[in-house]
Amino acid sequence: MILEYENIDNINRYKLMSDTVIPRPIAWIVTEDEGVINAAPFSYFTPLSSDPATIVVSIGHKEDGSQKDSLANILKHKKATICFANIDNLDDLKKSAISLPKNESETKTFNIDTHRTLEDYPPMIKSSHTALFCDFYSQIDIPGKTVPLVLELKFQYIQDERINDKNHINLENIARCGSYFKVMKDI
C-alpha cells in the first residue's frame, strides 16, 4: 500500500507518523518567565547534530491560536531545560500536559519538585535521571501551526551511577510509540 500524504488529513498524518517514527523521547521542557516555572511534556523532538550539539523540538499552538507558554518563554529568554521522563515520574508528566494560564506554574500546581542545578538555566525536574540545559539556536520556518525550534545543548546533568568512564550512559527513559508509553531497556 502506498499512502499519499497530500490526501491525508492532519489527524491521520499525526497517527501514521507517530506510529512509524518510533520511539519518540518524552521529556518536560522547563522554562521560566517573570518568576513562573513552566513545565510541559513534549515528544516531537529528535537529535539533529553533534556539532553543534543540537536537537529540534516541534511546538504547536494553544487552542485559542496563541503560542504555547513553552514556546513563548524560549523565544523570549532563549533558555530551556529538557528533563527526561522515567517510570517514577510519568504520572506527574501526564498531569502537567494540561494548559494552565501563563502565570500559573505546573510544578507548583502539581507539586512537582524542581532543583536549580545551574544558575543560568531553568531548574530541572528533581526526579529526572538526566537533563539537558539548552540555549535557543534557531527557528525553522514551515507553514502551519507547528514551530520547530533548534536548541543547542550546553550542559547535561546525569546521575553519577548512570554514566561510565567511556561516556556510555545507561537510562531507562520513557518513550512514546504511537499513543503508547514504553520504558526503554536494553535487550
Contacting positions for ligand FMN (CB under 6 A): 26, 38, 40-44, 58-60, 68-70, 94, 97-99, 176
Shortest Cβ distance from residue 77 to ligand FMN (Å)?
Answer: 13
Angstrom distances, CA of residue 152 to CA of 19, 55, 134: 27, 7, 5
| CB nearer ligand FMN, residue 163 or residue 181 | 181
Asked if 135 and 143 touch (Cβ cutoff 8 Å), the reply is: no
| CB nearer ligand FMN, residue 100 or residue 163 | 100
DSSP notation for 55-71: EEEEE-B-TTSSBPHHH
| CB nearer ligand FMN, residue 91 or residue 113 | 91
Shortest Cβ distance from residue 133 to ligand FMN (Å)?
Answer: 18
| CB nearer ligand FMN, residue 98 or residue 140 | 98
**Exposed, middle or buried: residue 72 (CB in 10 Å: 0-12, 13-18, 19+)?**
middle
Shortest Cβ distance from residue 161 to ligand FMN (Å)?
Answer: 27
Shortest Cβ distance from residue 65 to ligand FMN (Å)?
Answer: 13
| CB nearer ligand FMN, residue 129 or residue 176 | 176
Shortest Cβ distance from residue 19 to ligand FMN (Å)?
Answer: 15
CA 66 to chain centre: 19
Residues 6+ apart with CB under 8 A from 126: 113, 114, 115
Shortest Cβ distance from residue 174 to ligand FMN (Å)?
Answer: 9
Q: How far is the C-alpha of 139 from the C-alpha of 26, rounded, in Å?
A: 21
**Residue tagged 525550534 (cell numbers):** 149
| CB nearer ligand FMN, residue 132 or residue 165 | 132
Q: How far is the C-alpha of 185 from the C-alpha of 171, rounded, in Å?
A: 8
Q: How far is the C-alpha of 76 from the C-alpha of 107, rounded, in Å?
A: 20
**Residue tagged 518568576 (cell numbers):** 35
